């Protein structure tokens, strides 16, 4: 099973195109710094504005660059079940170790519709599937009871919990036990969810602080709660600065300040407001990312 710090990787652009060289360099940056899984083409990877071809190509490029050194969990979600099946099949064919699928957005399906969506995708592939529960993006929450039903499906392996509710995580872990791995989808709650039995994080902050995020999850997995708490507290101001505006605007801006990518975004994402950029830069300096 996947454990530890898994980065929700940004997709670097240059003049409107995917910057393949920078994408490979980012993968190396993560592997050097202890990231334990790479998740391309998620929300942080601007999957919503990638063409279908780009989506498949980015996943393939990351798999090639990783070269089996850590797991690659491909973002393959869609609000169309058929499209989610196609993306997940293609990722499996390309060699992905797993897939992360957002719950269908905009459609706002019932709990039964959510269950049938994931059941259908899972039945079409052999790789493990991680469910992504983020009501703020989708307009619907996956209830713990629905996740318990989905946990009965053999290759439904985990859930990325981004409801922001510790109560939700408690109920999921209580109902599903070891049948479903729970990963934090909120960087500020990594420690809290892992203390309850979570297995790691699919992280935005790991894009800029991969070593510290990996150290946090490693400490929690080993039961070194004092060290884990210390790292979580250290990360909090940086995490908050990365969500001053809609993700991935701040994290891409941060990476550009670090010289890791151009920081280019695709509309409707727009450059960071000057006041928020000042706050982000200050948090990065205090953390030691900028001098």
| Residues annotated as part of the active site | 132, 160
- Element of type H or E holding 147: helix 144-150
Q: Residue 237 is encoded by which pair of tokens?
A: 């101001």
What sign does the dihedral 169-170-171-175 (CA atoms) show? positive
How far is the C-alpha of 165 from the C-alpha of 171, rounded, in Å? 10
**Whether residue 268 has a cis bond before it, omega within 30° of 0:** yes
Q: 17 by DSSP, 3-state: which? A: strand
CA-nearest of 146, 142, 11, 26 to 74 is: 11
Question: How many whole angstroms separate alpha carbon 59 and alpha carbon 69?
Answer: 15
Nearest CA-CA partner of 215 in 234, 242, 198: 234
Asked if 244 and 223 count as a contact pair (C-beta separation under 8 A), the reply is no
- Helix 111-124 × helix 81-94 angle, to 10°: 30
Task: Return the DSSP state at 134.
Answer: -
Spatial distance between the Cα atoms of 210 and 152, rounded to a whole number of angstroms: 33
């Amino acid at each position: 099973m996947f454990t530890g710090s898994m980065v929700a990787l940004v997709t670097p652009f240059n003049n409107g195109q995917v910057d393949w060289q920078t994408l490979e360099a980012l993968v190396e940056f993560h592997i050097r710094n202890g990231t334990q899984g790479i998740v391309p083409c998620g929300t942080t990877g601007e999957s919503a504005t990638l063409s279908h071809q780009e989506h498949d190509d980015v996943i393939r490029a990351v798999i090639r660059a990783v070269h089996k050194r850590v797991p690659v969990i491909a973002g393959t979600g869609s609000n169309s079940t058929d499209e989610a099946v196609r993306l997940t099949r293609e990722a499996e064919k390309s060699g992905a170790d797993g897939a992360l699928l957002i719950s269908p957005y905009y459609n706002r399906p019932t709990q039964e519709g959510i269950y049938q969506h994931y059941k259908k995708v899972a039945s079409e592939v052999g790789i493990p599937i991680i469910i992504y529960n983020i009501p703020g993006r989708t307009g619907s929450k996956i209830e713990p009871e629905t996740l318990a039903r989905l946990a009965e499906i053999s290759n439904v392996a985990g859930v990325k919990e981004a409801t922001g509710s510790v109560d939700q995580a408690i109920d999921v872990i209580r109902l599903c036990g070891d049948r479903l791995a729970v990963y934090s989808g909120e960087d500020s709650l990594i420690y809290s969810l892992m203390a309850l039995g979570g297995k790691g994080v699919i992280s935005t902050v790991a894009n800029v602080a991969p070593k510290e995020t990996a150290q946090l999850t490693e400490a929690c997995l080993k039961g070194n709660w004092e060290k884990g708490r210390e790292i979580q507290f250290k990360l909090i101001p940086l995490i908050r600065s990365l969500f001053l505006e809609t993700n991935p605007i701040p994290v891409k801006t941060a990476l550009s300040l670090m010289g890791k990518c151009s920081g280019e975004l695709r509309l409707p994402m727009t450059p960071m407001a000057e006041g928020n950029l000042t706050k982000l830069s200050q948090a990065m300096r205090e953390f030691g990312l900028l001098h």
